[in-house]
Amino acid sequence: ATFVGSNGLIQPAAVGQARFDHDPITLACKGLLIEESRTNVALSSGAIVSNVGWLIVETTLSTSGTGPDGNTSYQVTETTINASHTVANSGSTTGTSATSVSSGVVYTGSMFFKKVAGSVDWVQLTLGSVGFGTTQYANFNIGNGTVGNSAGLASGTSPRIENYGNGWYRCSISVAASTTTSTSFGVVIGGLNNTNGTTRLPSYLGSTSNSVLASLCQFETGAFVTSDIPTT
């Protein structure tokens, strides 16, 4: 488990250590962090690497900058192909989807994003279509920290964006699985060509000027996001 330390960075807790969480902006202590038990099934949550928990489609990856945990973050950049531009966590080591979900159960996916200076403001977060259908998504403006259009989310939930300082925002959505399957993707990052559109994973002519920084993926069972759970 992790918490935000007095330096504003996400850090792991030692076994048996009480987690005194801090506001990442003001650094004020928020008190003892107590949460229900959760498991993050997103493989390679802190390292976006092709075919090692991730499937890369019409995007390129490079290491760039420092994430909200003080470790290396990743820059996701579009190719110039006319297509959907995505990065999806597959939950497997081969780049194929292998995340199990159960029909009717609500799952939450989250990712940290940071705007690249001079590049796009909008990014889309969605879950795998096989387990969750083709209508669910939410758009996030990582330039000003606001939520845009969304559809198909779990009843009683809303997209959420949280400011973690230094330009980083944690974006999350909760969706009820529409079928029981062991071959669904978890979290999917989609490009929007810098628009707050109304389409899940739209196709368009990409640009190498369109990129975002991303870090710390999480896919968990439950109707809200919990503190970061690192995976390898």
Q: pLDDT digit string (tens) for 121-164?
A: 999 999 999 999 999 999 999 999 999 999 999 999 999 999 99
> Please, how many CA atoms are within 13 Å of residue 212, restricted to the half-sphere of its CB?
30
Output the pTM of the full model. Answer: 0.96
Taking CA atoms, 2 is separated from 32, 54, 131, 209, in Å, by: 12, 23, 28, 34
Q: What is the pLDDT of residues 107-130, one digit of tens each?
A: 999 999 999 999 999 999 999 999
Q: Which helix (H) or strand (E) holds 17?
A: none
Q: What is the mean pLDDT of the chain?
A: 95
Q: Can you tell me the distance from the alpha carbon of 21 to that of 44, in angstroms, rounded to the nearest whole number?
A: 24
Q: In the predicted model, is pLDDT for residue 95 greater than 70?
A: no
